[in-house]
Structures are given as structure tokens and as C-alpha cells.
Structure 1
Amino acid sequence: MPTRFRWMRLQPQETALIAITAAWGSTFLLVHWAMQHSGPWFFVGLRFLIAGAISVVIFRKALRGIRWRDIGAGVSIGVMIHLGYGLQTVGLQTIDSSTSAFITAMYVPLVPLAQWAVFRRRPPAMAFVGAGLAFLGLLLIAGPDAFALTLGTGEIVTMLSTLPIAAEIILISVFAGRIDLGRITIVQLLTAGVLGLLTMPVVGEGFPEFSWVWVACAVGLGVSSCLIQLTMNWAQKSVSPTRATVIYAGEPVWAAVIGRAAGERLPATALIGGALVVLGILASELKLVRRRRTNRRRDPATPVVSNRE
């Protein structure tokens, strides 16, 4: 059977994920600024406590009927948020944002593979093609230094952060259609915030000196984190983890655009990489369709029957 490609229409949920990915891409620059004035776990804790407080105000009525399964689902996702964002923030203390973006992007091919291995759900073929193109584009965005990484502490912890990030995306899809949106958003954000502060004495981190820089960054990222997690919880009710991950792969592209506006110059390889990321997203929107053959050979002796009366 001949195979043809068919474009899949972009759903409103996917459009929303593209929008929050742009906001997500701006966080690298803000976190980088904040790390010059604050410790990583304090900042992660404050950031998500602010996000959780905002979500409580928005969904306070939903808390009246909260159930243990709401709490369990929210805590499991919150733990992954705490580990993913926390380790990534620790890494940003010693490595630059482009290297961090490259290493973090390793979750792009991890999600479809993990989904296949854990849930025995084989993603569509074009999802792998899209993820591969996006990951190749991220390599080019990172530049030649990405191919010669010296695995220091920053690189190692950032690499470890990709595992909980991938787990977060999968868990959100698992619980999205079963749990109340407001409740799970509140619980996961507050869980990530509380765990961030509780990690401080474990790693020997103290409270930072007051600075309007980390205050402003924490408030800004708290608002964006609430919006990002809320949108992810809503959109991934109908968007698969693999398709969502390819969309999220555009994060470093947006980060590069914001960096350009802040005065950074993009090399030609980074522009090509950005194009590959976009191509990967478009490829993931393709669906392979096998066309059935309808022109069977007709026996000449068989009369042609008309449908007309």
C-alpha cells in the first residue's frame, strides 16, 4: 500500500503549549541572574511557594473536595518538579545557559523511549523523527562547545535533572484526565516549594542576603511557573507526552531569541539549529496514512451496476 503524509491540525491545547514554551525559554536568563545573589534550593523553594500561593487564590474553592488521590498525584509530580528544576538550577551556578539548555534538552528523546519502556505504548513513527530533528537542532544551537563537554559538577547534575523532567511530563499525562485540574496544580507547586526549602539544610545552604534581584526573579518566575504548570496539566489531557515533548523542545529557541534581545549574538549554526527544531515540531504534526487500493481489476464479463435509479 502506498504511504502518504497527512498534516494533523494543531489543537488549541498544542497552541497553548507552544505559548508557554516561549515563557519557559525566558527562565534560563532570569535564573542565571538570580544565582548571582541566591542559593539554588532557596530560590527554587521560594519560586514554587509563590506559584503555589497564586494557585491557591485561583483554585481555593476546589480545595474543599480534595481527595487523597489528588494529593498523591500532585505530590508525585511535585517531587519531579523539585528534582528537575532544583538540579538544573544547581548546574546553572557553574555552567552557562547555552550548555545547560543543551544538556537539559536530553529529555527530548528520553520521553518517547521512557513512555515505550514503562507503559508499553509505542509512539508514532513521526514522533521519533520529530524528536530526532529537534534534538539535532538543539545540538547546533548549543554550538561546538556542546560536543566537547567537560563533565564537571554542573554538567553532571544538569544531566541528572533530565530524568525527573522527563518523568514529570509523563506523570502529568497519566494523571491529567483523572484528577481535578486546580487541586493537582496547587499540590504539585506547594510540594516543589516546600521540598526546595527542606533541601537547604541537607546540602548546607543558608539563607541569602536580601537582594531585589532574587526577589524580582522569584516573583516573576513564580507567576510564570503557575501559568506553565496549569497549562501543562490542562493541555496534556489530550496531548500525548511525546508530542508535548517535541513542542517543549522549542524552549532553547525562545531562550536564544530572548538572549539575542539582551545583547547576545546568534551564530549561523544556532540559526540552522533553530530551523531544525521548528522542522522537528512540524514533522511531529505529520501522520503516516496508508492508502487502500480501490482500483481492483474488474472482470470484463461483470456488468457495471449503476447506483442511479
Structure 2
Amino acid sequence: MRDASLRADGLCLVTALIWGLAFVAQRMGMDHVGPMAFNGIRFALGAAVLAPLAVRSMRYPPPAPFLAGSRDGFPWLGGLLAGGVLFAGATLQQVGLQYTTAGKAGFITGLYVVLVPLLGLFFKQRPARGDVVGAVAAAIGLYFLSVTEDFTLAPGDGLELVGAVFWACHVLVIGWLSPRTRALPLAMAQYVVCSVLSLACALAFEDLTWTGVRGAAWPIFYGGLLSVGLAYTLQVVAQRDAKPTHAAILLSFETVFAAIGGAVLLDESLGSRGLFGCALMFGGMLASQLWPRRKAGHG
């Protein structure tokens, strides 16, 4: 049992590393193609990687369908909903990366961890004390990381912040859909929806060329095959045996790996003010996830 837990922790850390370095790949890819084309192709690759596992999982009995008449918990209706939200979050993140660093994008995107319980207020869910502490720490950290001396938010950072709201909404949507349909077919369906929407926008608004796609081949492969396809599968496998607290901490290191990758591979620098903001944001994320929750029935 201990060996299984250690293996699961290792897989969580590898998943965080893959996701963190994906911010670097996403920035590098846009040297050759536009943000919509990059997302369209990488999510298509991610869907292709998951397709064999998704098809295999269709053999097993499904959960109860989330909509009357959606026979066998078929994932495409849920995929349309989740894919639309995923498209919004991924688009804002990718466009924002044109105007900010990989490290900043990683930390600001990671704010979805804090935003999820706060958005639960709209569903009459009271946030825990740790959620409030985490939100305050993250907000102060965001100020030091992204707000300039004349009290304006850098454009790229602003896009990443709005994107974090959509990532939080995506977590809530997936949380609602997951018990109602098969997980892997749902994941594949949302990737297909996101890919189709992104490619449609790329064809309409970007100069998409085969030369550009070839130039961005390695970043696209990384973003599609590793970040979307492999990392999702590793997360699912790891969280079967990982303790929730361990998984929360280790997956949060995605933000740290994004900053390290940006510094080493892209020669980015956050500066002392930015690093202080990152530390506050990371502490806020951990507080939101790990602060003891109030037990039901005790006020």
C-alpha cells in the first residue's frame, strides 16, 4: 500500500511537471502559428491519444445520464457544454501568453484553485475559512506579480485572470458531469469540441500555413500528446491511490514548474517583486486546498 501511494505521488509530480512546462511549449509554438491554430491542433492530438481508452471504457456500464433521453450516459451532450467552457479558458490563456511570461501565466491560471470554492457561493455553498484566507493571499500576490506602479493590470495578465475564471467554471462543470457520464469519453468529447471551435476561428481569423505548423511541430506535439493526452491519463491513474492532500500539493507545483521552465528555457525573469507575489499566490492555493474543512452538521 505504501509503494502504491509513493508511486501515485510520483505520477502526480510528473503530471504537474508536464503541465507546467506546457506553458513554455505554448509560448514557443506561437512563434510560428496563431493561438487558435495552436489550440486547435493540440486538442485534436489530445483527443486522438485518449480515443482508444475512451472507446474501451464505453464497454462498461455508464452512470445515470445527466439528461432525460441521453441514453447510456452518452458523453457528447456533456462534451458540448464542457468543451465550450474549455474553449473559452484555453483561448484566453493562449492569447494571453502572447503578452505575458510563461511563469506569470502559470501562477495566474493556477488561481482557479482558489476561485472554485468562491464561485460555489452562486450555488449557496459556504467557502471554508481556508478558501477565504487563500483568496486574500492570492489577491495580494496577484497585485505584486501583475499590477504595475500606476495600478494597471498588464494586458496579458488580465486575459490570464479572466481565463482562470473560466478554468474554475470548467472544474465545476466537470464536477457536475463526471458522476453522470463516463469520464474518458467525456474528456475526449470536450477536446474534440474545443479543437473544432479553435480550428474554425483559426481558419477565419489567422493566417494558417503548413510551413507555420511544421515550425511549431514540437511545441504542438508536447501540448497535445503530453500535456493534454498523457498528463490527463496519468492524473486519473495517480489519483486512484494518491491521498487527496498529497495530490493537491503535488499538482499545485504546476505553477512552480511553469516559472522554472520560463526562466531556464525562455530566459524570463519575474524579479523580486514578482517572486514575492508568486510565493503569496502559491501559499493561497495551498491554503484553499489543505485547510481543514468544517464537518457537516456543526454550524
TM value normalised by structure 1? 0.72
Tell me, in whole angstroms, the C-alpha distance in 1 between the residues paired with 2:8 and 2:124.
Answer: 25
Gaps of 5+ in 1: 1-9, 291-309
Counterpart of 2:42? 47
| Per-residue deviation, residues 161-187 of structure 1 (Å, max 9, x unmatched) | 233211111112222233212211211
Matched, 1:132 2:117: no
SS at match of 2:292: strand
Alpha-carbon contact 1:55-1:182 (below 8 Å) kept = yes
Tell me, in whole angstroms, the C-alpha distance in 2 between the residues paired with 1:33 and 1:79.
Answer: 25
Aligned CA distance change for structure 1 residues 125 and 150 (closer, same or farther; 3 Å): closer
Tell me, in whole angstroms, the C-alpha distance in 1 between the residues paired with 2:200 and 2:38.
Answer: 12
Larger radius of gyration: 1
TM value normalised by structure 2? 0.74
2:98 alignment partner, one of 93, 97, 107: 93
Counterpart of 1:60? 55
Gaps of 5+ in 2: 63-71
Which amino acid is 2:129 matched to?
A: A
**How far off is 1:59 after superposition?**
2.9
Tell me, in whole angstroms, the C-alpha distance in 2 between the residues paired with 1:38 and 1:245.
Answer: 34
Which amino acid is 1:208 matched to?
A: T
Counterpart of 2:181? 179
Percent identity between matched residues is 25
Tell me, in whole angstroms, the C-alpha distance in 2 between the residues paired with 1:62 and 1:193.
Answer: 22
Tell me, in whole angstroms, the C-alpha distance in 2 between the residues paired with 1:79 and 1:146.
Answer: 36
Tell me, in whole angstroms, the C-alpha distance in 2 between the residues paired with 1:261 and 1:234.
Answer: 30
Alpha-carbon contact 1:31-1:89 (below 8 Å) kept = yes
Alpha-carbon contact 1:181-1:230 (below 8 Å) kept = no
Tell me, in whole angstroms, the C-alpha distance in 2 between the residues paired with 1:13 and 1:226.
Answer: 18
Alpha-carbon contact 1:73-1:184 (below 8 Å) kept = yes
Alpha-carbon contact 1:51-1:222 (below 8 Å) kept = yes
Which amino acid is 1:42 matched to?
A: A
Q: In proportion to residue count, which structure has more helix?
A: 2
Tell me, in whole angstroms, the C-alpha distance in 1 between the residues paired with 2:277 and 2:54.
Answer: 40
How many residue pairs end up in the alignment? 275
Tell me, in whole angstroms, the C-alpha distance in 1 between the residues paired with 2:280 and 2:142.
Answer: 8
For residues 128-277 of structure 1, what are the structure 2 equivalents within 5 Å?
128-140=132-144, 142=145, 145=148, 148-149=151-152, 152=155, 154=156, 157-202=159-204, 204-211=205-212, 212-223=214-225, 224-230=227-233, 250-262=253-265, 263-265=267-269, 267-277=271-281
